[in-house]
Amino acid sequence: MLHKGPTVYRRIVFPTAALEARARWKAVNGKAGKTMLRVRVYYLDDQRVREYPPALFRYSSDSLNALLFSRQAAIEEAMREAAEATDAYFIWLGLALRDENTLLFDGMTHFFKFDPCLPFATSMLYGAERMGEWALLLQVGCTITESEIYRHFTEDARKRVKELGAFLQNWAYRPEERVAEVFVFADANGQFAIKDAREVVRILP
Amino acid sequence: MRGPKVKRSIKIGATQIEIVAWWEKRGNQVGRTRLSVTCDGKSKTIAADYSDYPAERRNEFPGVLSKVAFAIAADEQARRVADSFVRRLGLTLQNALTELYRDFISQDASFYLDPKDAITTTCWFSNLQRAAELAGLLEAAREIISRELLKMVGWSQLLEKEREAGRRLVEVAAARSDERDYLVDLNFYLDLA
């Protein structure tokens, strides 16, 4: 029996704060499973962390079905499910940063089924509740991204926000570019730069 | 600054759902209409709508008239919010999905769910959160009504009675929207008294 999958995280590191989305698949009653997404903001200046209420990504029993083959397959399935949740968060954050609200709304309503084509009003209200949970987390993401960029890259801040949005939105079209950490920093000339964790050489103290 | 409270009660079986709404304004914040729903002794309050209309009306008139104008406008806002909750609850019970969806998404629904209507993304996200809170309240109230109906009429007549209760609530919300307080006794309307 697999109770929980591994936690998968994606992070955007800004000069003085970091936005982290972490997701984990968890078995429910041994018959199904659900993936929850949590968002944390690390304030690097004053060593403070804030975590927001979790949001449900979706119910899925794929990991339990994979247990029929092997435990390793089930763990991989759980990890894939969690990675999908974090990727969805960052792709939607990218859309929100670029003000692509209609695309974002279509994506969210497709996922959370907030439309009149459902069998019951309860399902529609349930969809609306889930959308609200995600809206809070996306709002947190937008706020921290915008405040960090406006704080550190005052010139053309709006353009920089859109640039980061486009970078994240690209994850939808180029899955091979998805990475665990994205760094937003000032390069040697003090200019705005985005790099993914693969390109960054970290010198440990 | 706070306007008068309006109250709608829905009686079903042995339980009662209380819906209370009022307009208020704190400091420099924009005025808001609060909606409080009490089911099974548990109460939850949300900000259902944002508007400065009563405060503006107050400033339009001199002396005693300003108080009257304020009270009328605040009462109107509160009644509108409370009645739209009763109406939406009726639509939920009737399973009238298209109308309920239209009620949520339309421009006069007090929040802008359609991204084309919202001014900024942040504003749109706030609207989504408020809609989610309202959906939670509607779902909680619907659950109570369904549970009580199930106890009284059983599975065989549940859907039929739910629809009837829903129709009744929609009718009442439209017909008695000018009253400050009213009670809808669903036991009486559904011949269950």
Beta strands (DSSP E) in chain A are 8-13, 17-28, 32-43, 48-51, 55-59, 181-186, 192-196
pLDDT of residue A205: 34
| Alpha-carbon gap, residue A2 to A81, rounded angstroms | 14
Residue of B nearest to A122 (CA): B139
pLDDT per residue over A139-194, tens digit each? 999 999 999 999 988 888 999 999 999 999 988 888 887 888 888 888 777 788 88
pLDDT per residue over A90-147, tens digit each? 999 999 999 888 888 888 888 888 877 888 889 889 989 999 999 999 999 999 999 9
**Number of neighbouring beta carbons within 10 Å of residue B134:** 26
From the list A138, A112, A104, A134, the residue with the least C-alpha distance to A58 is A112
This prediction's pTM:
0.88
Strand arrangement, sheet containing B42-50: B42-50, B32-39, B15-24, B6-12, B181-185
Higher pLDDT, A193 or A202: A193
Nearest to A142 among B104, B122, B134 (CB): B122
**How distant is the Cα of A50 from the closest Cα of chain B, in angstroms?**
19
Contact A129 B115 (CB under 8 A): no
Which of 136-165 (B) contact A at CB < 8 A?
Answer: 136, 138-139, 142
From the list B121, B128, B125, the residue with the least C-alpha distance to B105 is B128
Segments in chain B below pLDDT 50 = none
ipTM: 0.86
